[in-house]
Amino acid sequence: MSWPSANLLAQSALSGLFVGALYGLIGLGLGLSWGLLRTINLAHFAFVFAGAYLAYQLNASTGMDPLVALAAIVPLFFAAGVGLHALITRFNVSALNTLLVTFGLTAIIEAVIQAIWSADFRRLEWAHGHVKFKLGELFVPLPELVTLLMALAATFALWGVLRGTDLGKAMRAAAQDAPIAAAFGVNQKLLALLLAGTCAALAGVAGVCLSLSFTLAPAQIYAWVGVVFAAVMMGGLGSPVGPLVAGIVIGVSEALTMAITAPSWAPIVSFTLLIVLLLARPGRL
């Protein structure tokens, strides 16, 4: 086996960085919901695809730029997230049962997507989809760059809010000990609705980014579950920065594995990294 060229390694690492950023962006809302709301929201993946299909539809029928479509998708998904959390709270669904309930919801959303857009592949033809920049010998495609920038912006905006504002501190306090936080005047219910809406809105953003680079099919909802869960668990539940860092570590590791060895080894990278991390730090979950 000959050693790959530096350019091949760098281009592959760049490809991993971009796909890792998407893992992180999808994982961001999932991890916050799991860590701070105690809702293991499998429907997050269905929301991501619903967002992607909406962006596709708006582009196909009205020619709307998917980035402009965010202006409609974000508030719509925020409302959907609030509604879902209100229902979960209303029926007092336990953390474990949210997994089952949201799995059912995922199946329903998948069926609705299939009913509307059929099981066939759909591709959003973004006007700037073929733009790429040259960085020395490396190529940087615009859709992937947009995803990376979106992931960085969302991650650090949330990090800033959770770390540096009273609102964020109240959210973290409510997640840690809701009764005590309430005793200090924190409106836990309202904050939970706000956070659930934000997580769903993030799913919408991730969906738009997904639609920029990937062809869509309803059944692909499940293809992202394993690797994104690994990124969330490695990054730490409730952490805004962790999923992005873990996603990029996984993405780059997978890409370098593909560049150096057989690409068929890549899928085991994420779970190997997760197992190693859990062995090294068993109290991470």
Partner 1 sequence: MSLKFLWLRAAAVATLFAAGSLAQAQQAPVRIGSTLALTGPLSATAQIHKLVGEIYVEQLNKRGGLLGRQVEWIVKDDQSKPDVARTLYEQLVTADKVDLLMGPYATGAILSAMGVAQRYDKILIHHTFGIPSLAKYERQFPAWSLGADPGTTVPTTVLGALGAAGKTPKTVAIVTSKFPSIHFMSLGAREVFKKRGVQEVLFLEWEFGNRDFGPIAARVKDAKPDFVWVGAIGLDGNLLLDAMKKIDYSPPLHFHLYPAPGPMVKAPEANGALSVSIFEDHAPYTNNPVALEFTKLFHDRATKANLPETNVEVQAAASYTAWQLLEAAVNGTKSLDDKKMADWLKANKVDTIQGKLRFDGPSNYGDDLMRVKQVQNGKWLIVYPPEVAAPGAKLIAK
Residues that bind partner 1 (CB under 8 A): 4-5, 7-8, 11-12, 14-16, 18-19, 110-111, 114, 118-123, 130, 132, 139, 141, 144, 214-215, 217-220, 223-224, 251, 254-256, 258-259, 262-264, 266-267
Residue closer to partner 1 (CB basis): 95 or 223: 223
Judge whether 117 and 218 are in contact, CB under 8 Å: yes
CB atoms within 10 A of CB 189: 14
Which of 167, 224, 209 lies closest to 36 in space, CA to CA?
167
Residue closer to partner 1 (CB basis): 49 or 214: 214
For the CB of residue 97, give the shortest distance to partner 1 in the complex, in Å: 24
Residue closer to partner 1 (CB basis): 262 or 285: 262
Tell me the C-alpha to C-alpha distance, in Å, between residue 227 and each of 26, 57, 98, 190.
Answer: 10, 27, 20, 31
Residue closer to partner 1 (CB basis): 158 or 203: 203
What burial class does residue 107 get, using C-beta atoms within 10 Å of its C-beta: 0-12 exposed, 13-18 middle, 19+ buried? middle
Residue closer to partner 1 (CB basis): 121 or 156: 121
173/100 Cα distance (integer angstroms): 27
For the CB of residue 52, give the shortest distance to partner 1 in the complex, in Å: 14
Tell me the C-alpha to C-alpha distance, in Å, between residue 123 and each of 77, 130, 211, 247.
Answer: 21, 13, 7, 24
For the CB of residue 100, give the shortest distance to partner 1 in the complex, in Å: 19
For the CB of residue 40, give the shortest distance to partner 1 in the complex, in Å: 23
Residue closer to partner 1 (CB basis): 205 or 250: 250
For the CB of residue 198, give the shortest distance to partner 1 in the complex, in Å: 26
Which of 202, 205, 213 lies closest to 140 in space, CA to CA?
213
141/131 Cα distance (integer angstroms): 6
For the CB of residue 109, give the shortest distance to partner 1 in the complex, in Å: 13
